[in-house]
Every structure is written in C-alpha cells, then in structure tokens.
Amino acid sequence: MMELFSSGRIVDVILAIIVIEALILLGLAVVARWRLPTFGMLMNLAAGAALLLALRSVLTDAGWVVTGAWLAAAFLAHLSDLVTRILAVRPSSHH
C-alpha cells in the first residue's frame, strides 16, 4: 500500500475512475439525451483531476513548478465551472 502512494499510482487509479465518470456523464447526455450541464460537470472533473495531478507531483517529488502548474490548471477549470454556473442562474436583463 505504501508503494501505491509513494509512486503516485494511487492518483492513476483515481484518475481512471474520473475518466469513467466523465464517459458515463457524456453517455447520459448524448445517448440517453439527459439535459445535463455537461460543460460545467466536465470542468468540475477537470479541476479535481488537476488537483490529483498536483498531489501526484508532490508524492513523486516532481518539483514546485510542476505542482504549481497543476494547481493553476485546477484553478482555471474551477473558474470555468463557476462562470458557467453563474451565467446559468443570472437574472435576465429584460425590464
């Protein structure tokens, strides 16, 4: 179990689960025609994936630049999700 963490492989396992989750959500949206906020959901998953990759870079001593890049990517994905959610619920400007 220690090797799973020290090698960063635990992150690979979790990332595989995230990919499966994304494929299921896309399948529901496309094949089953569910009305899902697909872009926001994918950006949320991307933010989580980037945070996991930042964790992996710390576990494997990849350096602060790599970790910082993954954290920046997580922030951008989170911001995209947040903006999408805000735009979806903002009041209309019709008077």
What's the pLDDT tens digit per position in 46-80? 999 999 999 999 999 999 999 999 999 999 999 99
Residue 7 located in a structural domain: yes
Position 93 pLDDT exceeds 70: no
| Residue 3 CB neighbour total at 10 angstroms | 8
Residues 6+ apart with CB under 8 A from 61: none
Residue 95 located in a structural domain: no
Residue 35 located in a structural domain: yes
Residue 38 located in a structural domain: yes
**pLDDT confidence bin for 95, thresholds 50/70/90:** low
Residue located via tokens 């920046």: 72
What is the total count of domains within the chain? 1
pLDDT at 32: 82
Residue 24 located in a structural domain: yes
What's the average model confidence in pLDDT over 3-31? 92
Predicted confidence (pLDDT) per residue in 25-46, tens digit:
999 988 888 888 888 899 999 9
**pLDDT confidence bin for 20, thresholds 50/70/90:** very high
Report which residue type is found at 83: V
CB 44 within 8 A of CB 25: no
- pTM attached to this predicted model: 0.85
Residue 11 located in a structural domain: yes
Residue 46 located in a structural domain: yes
Residue 94 located in a structural domain: no
Alpha-helical segments (H) within 1-95: 2-6, 9-30, 38-59, 64-89
Q: Who wins on pLDDT, 86 or 90?
A: 86
User: Can you tell me the distance from the alpha carbon of 38 to that of 28, in angstroms, rounded to the nearest whole number?
Assistant: 10
Residue 16: give the domain boundaries.
Answer: 2-89
| Token pair in block for residue 1 | 């179990």
